[in-house]
Amino acid sequence: MGEAVARTLTGDPTEYKPGHWFNSAKFFDIEYQTYGWVRNQLAEGESDFYWQHPDGRKGVKITFETEARKLIGINVFGIRLRHMVLDRMLEEERTVDYLLEHWRDALFDPEFYRDHILDILHCFNDQFGTSIRPKKKNWVRIFNAQQTWLPI
């Protein structure tokens, strides 16, 4: 919003485009992030997936279109994700399958942190009858996702 106002005030009228819903917070030592829309009740044609770590301190909830499998939103608890990567996935209308395959690109946790993707995928694949496998982290994909945020 500030950038649109600044450009407009300096002679470059710029429409404000709010982008995808995003929220991030930290409650004591638990981090929480939301990208897109993860409602408490699914709309018609939507499905969701929930995974929780056995310690109860990490969780993932993903909402997606049932037929097209297009990602609608994701909540993560105790796990940090890269904002620009998730924003790009939503902008490009990627599928839940794509998100899970490229989870390591999105992950933004400290070094030596276990990424849990194999546990998450095992649960997802069992629930939805899929055979999604994770791809290796790719810095080119990560930095390409960030290019939309570089100054013009």
Domain range summary for the chain, segments of one domain joined by +: 35-147
The topology under which CATH files domain 35-147 is Enolase-like; domain 1 (3.30.390)
Supply the DSSP symbol for 56: S
**Residue 12 pLDDT level (bands cut at 50, 70, 90):** very high
Q: What's the pLDDT tens digit per position in 54-98?
A: 999 999 999 999 999 999 999 999 999 999 899 999 999 999 999
**Residue 149 pLDDT level (bands cut at 50, 70, 90):** very low
Task: Please give the Cα distance from 78 to 60 (Å, whole number).
Answer: 9
Give the three-class secondary structure for 148. Answer: helix
Cβ neighbours for 139, distance < 8 A, ≥ 6 positions apart: none
* More confident call, 146 vs 122: 122
**Which pLDDT belongs to residue 99?**
97
